[in-house]
Structure 1
Amino acid sequence: MRKRDGRVVAFEQARIVEAIAKAAAAVGEADRTPSADLATAVARALTAAALGQIPDVETIQDVVEHTLITHGHARVAKAYILYRDRRTRMREARAELMDSVERILAEANRENANVGNSPSAKMLQIASAASRQFYLARLIPDDLAQAHRSGDIHIHDLDFYGKTLTCVQIPLGRLLAHGFDTGHGYIRPPRRIASAAAQAAIMLQSSQNDMHGGQSFACFDRDLAPLADGASEFEIYQAMEALIYNLNSMHSRAGAQVPFSSLNLGCDTSPRGRLVTRCLLDAYERGLGRGEMPIFPNIIFRLKKGVNFDPQDPNYDLFQRAMQVAARRMNPTFAFMDAPFNRPYGEEVAYMGCRSRVIANRHGPAISSGRGNLSFTTLNLPRIAIKARGQLPQFLSGLEAMMNLAARQLHHRFEVQARLKARDMPFLMGQGLYLDSEQLKPEDPIAPVIRHGTLAIGFIGLAEALTCLTGAHHGQEPDAQRLGLEIVRRMRQLVDGFAETYDLNYTLLATPAEGLAGR
């Protein structure tokens, strides 16, 4: 027989016996005698059909299937076909992995702005490629894996599917007040603003190494204000400048990345809280050592009437300063605390730089600090519209089907994550960063804690989908605008239903699609 690599080797009938026996055992047939008889029939059929040619592996397997069916073993034949298909997919996955490794070594591909092309970055990309192939081939149910491969959905951070969670709002104030342990020794509470800023960078770095997504402080100005007492404005400015330098130079995350960091601020009206905000904005506008644009941190400036929105508000000057900095540096971004969906929570709502918003909670207090997004998966709206041939009823039907599939995939991922133990995330869970995680022992599963997190369904390409459905996008025609809003409302309704069905915090977001738009 001829093997797949082209080598010619002796045909071993015993291997056919073993393959048929395994297929029979899979359907509950333990007697191996028929397997030997069927293998003999396979050998005879191959000899009769060979006509002087050397049969290859695929030919032999075709004959095995045909023999099983013609001899009345349809159930065994089905099990054999499924086994053969699984082996084929495993071989294809190995081949795809080798192709991916070859591309990584040959190209300088920067999917994220903070991933370089260093040796450790290439090692990260190779490990990520291997992880993705493993999860698609071995862990994720076939229909969900195929939906990702085909582009119907996109499972974000697939390489971390069963390893960790996405992001968290770190409780900065508590860690500064009580100290923390990074695994190599205890760090006591700081007494000076410079030490506090340095520790804030260490917290972001340490938590980042336990997770694959963003790290954020929900109330940066309020939590740092007590440490600014007694410090001069120059000392506070230098502490903020050092923090920005650290967050753009600590290449400690996997692949020599810097932490994906975000700071929420703007609503602390105390003199020291205001000074922390102003000094951070001033340092950010100045940039790095030669004026370079800082990639991090993402700064989210909260806006609220009575605090900083109107000219008579105490922090209105900080809002004006934030807009000046944004005009030059495209950062901060602005979050409106008086928006209808934020107003019930006062100043509590915090965001990530990637636009994740975590607040409502089915299993505990509606707060941002100590919580984050667990995972998210994106729907390809233009693909759904194209498959519906531009027909709205078919589009809505396809949309609902994909939404249900995405919800099921996120629930599967949640169940995989829930089996992780607290010791798998020693800083995040071991130091009590995640809400209620201080109750966990190292060997405890994290399931009861991560119920506080969110599972997000994202969407991409609404404008293109509207163009496919109506001939215009939402910025061109009022009818397209109305339909776009209706589509988003329908997705929101479905997501609310998933939250009830699975009793988890399902959410909807417009996907920040850096590496997805080109799929």
Structure 2
Amino acid sequence: MIDKVKKRDGRLISFNEEKITRAIFLAASEVARNEGVVPDYQVASELTQEVIKHINRKYAGTVPSVEDIQDSVVKVLIETGHAKTSQTYILYRAERSRIRDSKSRLMKTIEDITFLDAKDSDIKRENANINGNTAMGTMLQYGSAVSKEFCKNFIIKNNHSLAHESGEIHIHDMDFLNMGTLTCCQIDLENIFKDGFSTGHGFLREPQDIMSYAALAAIAIQSNQNDQHGGQSIPTFDYGLADGVRKTFKKLYAENLYKSLSIISDQEQKREDAIKVLKSVIEDSDSGKISRNEAEAEKECSMISDIYSISKEQVKKIQDFVYEETVYETDKKTYQAMEAFIHNLNTMHSRAGAQVPFSSVNFGTDTSEEGRMVSKNLMLSQERGLGNGETPIFPILIFKVKEGINLNKEDKNYDLFKLAMRVSSKRLFPNFSFLDAPFNKKYYVEGKPETEAVYMGCRTRVMGNVCGEEQVYGRGNLSFTTLNLPRLGIKYGICTGEREEADMQGFFKELKEKLDLISEQLLERFEIQASKKVKNFPFLMGQGVWKHSDELGWDDELREVIKGGTLTLGFIGLAECLIALTGSHHGENEDSRRLGFEIIKYIRSEIDKKSEEYNLNFSLIATPAEGLSGRFTRIDRKNFGIIEKITDKDYYTNSFHVPVYHSLSAFEKIQIEAPYHELTNAGHISYIELDGNPSANLEAFETIIKAMKNSGMGYGSINHPLDRDPVCGFSGVIGDTCPNCGREEKDIPFERIRRITGYLVGTLDRFNDAKKSEVNDRIKHM
């Protein structure tokens, strides 16, 4: 007789037949409930005795395992005519195994987070914006790990969870799924500044000068990040802060003019009369604008001349002095405000103190003097760096390039474009977005900055809208999920040697199945988000940051207003997919290039069909892969072994990019990747990798940026080495010794700043292993 059972962890426990009876009865109860009959516990007991007989026969003289006993239960149920009960028992058994595996996986993750140093743990470097060694960073990772397992086992559908676990798809930010947060938002600063706003801990009045505008902009970004799991973007930063410059100029102009007039006469009455007159002129005119209104200036001159009984020539000299001094002081204050803005966003913490805000600002098209002053000083502050000359990580600066505004020498903001390239050559940012790309230009309406297509640092783009206004303010991505393209290529391609030609019919058939699966999963997540209420997101929704949320009550659901956001499908590893299918990627072969475009075009067409079917903004993104690039590769290597140029690296190539190890010119890369920008309507970016210091050749820098623009790209950037000596503070290209102080890299290493995605730059020690490997493989473009 069997009296002991071996558990999965090796422990021996007493055999308990009641556990078998109860398991059979629960499975039978499920079947009975579906068929409308009453289950019989006695039948379960009798079946248990048959199971015991089978166990005693088969395992006599040994100690059976838990799995052995479960196999015996299934065998007896089938042989005794209880097939449906057997099926239910098998499902129950699988579910228990899944939960048990989840607990085991969770405990291992918690153990790694607790005891491993970040340099030894990919988990603690999954997000380069989190310091995994700090107390708050560790706590945030604990919460993330627990939430992910809970969502996989109790929130999302089984087939979605299994597809994620097996590496067929990747559900991004799953740790926030059950909370119903949205991914990101494009914030309309002018709207929230208009009457002030509340952070939940106090109300902030409408700002009255540029310093306050910049401070509140940083606070708004920080507050919004606590309501979302992704990034925060300001689509029209220069327009949004221009009013702050105007208010500052108007205030300083009045003060300086009063001080100057006080020198002319010490008669109190005359000063009071002048103040009354000037107040009416300044407040009721364009005097608050830096660009002078000659008619207003003449009116002001006549009044001062009459009050003080002095010639107009003298008054004009005073006016000119006051104007020039006020412009200087306003410019200085604007620089200080922009410097404070950048410093705040690199030191201000959110999400339990573990992260600085993921933030992006778009600018460069406001041609007013106030807007130009904002853009100029924002870039000058970026160029100067932080307190010790460090490169600011946030906000991601994105310069909007537009013909007739800043692209050519005759354009008013061309000087800002030149400055943007100079700063980018030193600090990696700004990136460059192109408003004249056909898919961006079709939305553009002159004089309406909200129609200027913008990007978030990570590459996200939210513009088209089947549910309402096609503009950028108060909208963002709801969620996104990524497809493992190399997996499909391996299954249907020639790389395994199983076939001489790729099975493209099978490839596209399963591709459609996976697209349907992801669409279903995005809708499942949308339902969770739609059921949330305004009170769940007190800043994002409660302060009207999200479009039309100000029309809802505190307890209203969000369904109708969040329809303006995007449900996004992404993809990774087009290059490896093509190698698996044909033996070559799209940078090597024209046939592969045509096939690559055909694949992504097909995906986009299926996504468009989903938008039409559900009347929601389904869209396609070229996935920004940070931790994901290595995750898919590890799983596929385990399943398919090491396949040359596919699973033999630690990463899959980002989205539609030509592999970083492939040698080609900058202009070849631009021409190959540009067509994919139009297909990926939810976001895209292309990089050009340069060696050396591009500051020494800004003409070449400009040529590359204009080549991107002329090719039809929507968003691009130039990568280059950015090193810093923490001892002397030198920033630039450093080899083995610092060119400034001659110090060698020994006890104190040089900081090697590199970009890993559109929105994250940093030192290599903060990157996960896959991204480190990718950076090391990069070949510079000629």
Q: Distance in 2 between matches of 1:468 and 1:79?
A: 39
| Pair 1:508-2:602 in alignment | no
Matches within 5 A, 1:106-145: 106-108=116-118, 109-116=124-131, 117-145=133-161
Matches within 5 A, 1:241-320: 241-254=339-352, 256-320=354-418
Residue 341 of structure 1 aligns to a residue whose secondary structure is helix
Deviates more, 1:205-214 or 1:298-307: 298-307
- Residue type at the aligned position of 2:618: Y
Matches within 5 A, 1:199-238: 199-229=216-246, 230-231=248-249, 232-238=330-336
Residue 370 of structure 1 aligns to a residue whose secondary structure is coil
Q: Distance in 2 between matches of 1:295 and 1:220?
A: 18
- Give aligned-pair identity as a percent: 49
| Pair 1:31-2:39 in alignment | yes
Query: In 2, are the aligned partners of 1:124 and 1:255 still within 8 Å (CA)?
Result: no
Deviations 1:416-471 (A, max 9, x none): 22222222111111111111111222222211111111011111111222223333
- Aligned counterpart for 2:433 among listed residues 328, 331, 335: 335
Alignment partner, residue 580 of structure 2: 468
- Residue type at the aligned position of 1:467: I
Cα shift at 1:134: 1.6
Query: Normalized against structure 2, the TM-score is what?
Result: 0.65
After superposition, the Cα gap between the structure-2 partners of 1:466 and 1:389, relative to the gap in structure 1 and judged at 3 Å, is closer
Deviations 1:330-375 (A, max 9, x none): 1111111111111122142221101111011111111111000011
Q: Distance in 2 between matches of 1:378 and 1:318?
A: 37
- Aligned counterpart for 1:482 among listed residues 588, 591, 594: 594
| Pair 1:22-2:26 in alignment | yes
Matches within 5 A, 1:345-384: 345-346=443-444, 347=449, 348=451, 349-384=453-488
Task: Structure 2 unaligned segments of length 5 or more: list them.
Answer: 119-123, 250-329, 495-501, 632-782
Alignment partner, residue 166 of structure 1: 183
Q: Distance in 2 between matches of 1:55 and 1:399?
A: 43
Deviates more, 1:191-200 or 1:140-149: 140-149
Query: In 2, are the aligned partners of 1:42 and 1:64 still within 8 Å (CA)?
Result: yes
Deviates more, 1:403-412 or 1:81-90: 403-412
Alignment partner, residue 611 of structure 2: 499
Alignment partner, residue 197 of structure 1: 214
Residue 629 of structure 2 aligns to a residue whose secondary structure is coil
Residue 569 of structure 2 aligns to a residue whose secondary structure is strand
CA RMSD of aligned residues (A): 1.7
Query: In 1, are the aligned partners of 2:493 and 2:582 still within 8 Å (CA)?
Result: no
Q: Distance in 1 between matches of 2:364 and 2:517?
A: 40
Cα shift at 1:306: 1.5
Query: In 2, are the aligned partners of 1:374 and 1:454 still within 8 Å (CA)?
Result: yes
| Pair 1:59-2:171 in alignment | no
Cα shift at 1:402: 1.9
Q: Distance in 1 between matches of 2:599 and 2:75?
A: 49
Residue 24 of structure 1 aligns to a residue whose secondary structure is helix
Q: Distance in 1 between matches of 2:127 and 2:14?
A: 51
| Pair 1:89-2:104 in alignment | no
- Residue type at the aligned position of 1:115: I
Q: Distance in 2 between matches of 1:485 and 1:37?
A: 63
Deviations 1:37-56 (A, max 9, x none): 22233334334444243443
Residue 517 of structure 1 aligns to a residue whose secondary structure is helix
Cα shift at 1:7: 4.3
Q: Distance in 1 between matches of 2:91 and 2:39?
A: 20
Q: Distance in 1 between matches of 2:485 and 2:65?
A: 43
Larger Rg: 2
After superposition, the Cα gap between the structure-2 partners of 1:477 and 1:95, relative to the gap in structure 1 and judged at 3 Å, is same
Q: Distance in 2 between matches of 1:508 and 1:262?
A: 21
Query: In 2, are the aligned partners of 1:122 and 1:255 still within 8 Å (CA)?
Result: no
Query: In 2, are the aligned partners of 1:17 and 1:39 still within 8 Å (CA)?
Result: yes
Query: Normalized against structure 1, the TM-score is what?
Result: 0.96
After superposition, the Cα gap between the structure-2 partners of 1:9 and 1:398, relative to the gap in structure 1 and judged at 3 Å, is closer
Q: Distance in 2 between matches of 1:235 and 1:363?
A: 42
Count matched residues.
519
Deviates more, 1:438-447 or 1:287-296: 438-447
Deviates more, 1:133-142 or 1:204-213: 133-142
- Residue type at the aligned position of 1:397: K
Q: Distance in 2 between matches of 1:144 and 1:5?
A: 29
Deviations 1:131-174 (A, max 9, x none): 11122222222222222122221111121122211000012111
Matches within 5 A, 1:371-450: 371-390=475-494, 391=502, 392-450=504-562
Cα shift at 1:5: 4.3
Q: Distance in 2 between matches of 1:381 and 1:278?
A: 42
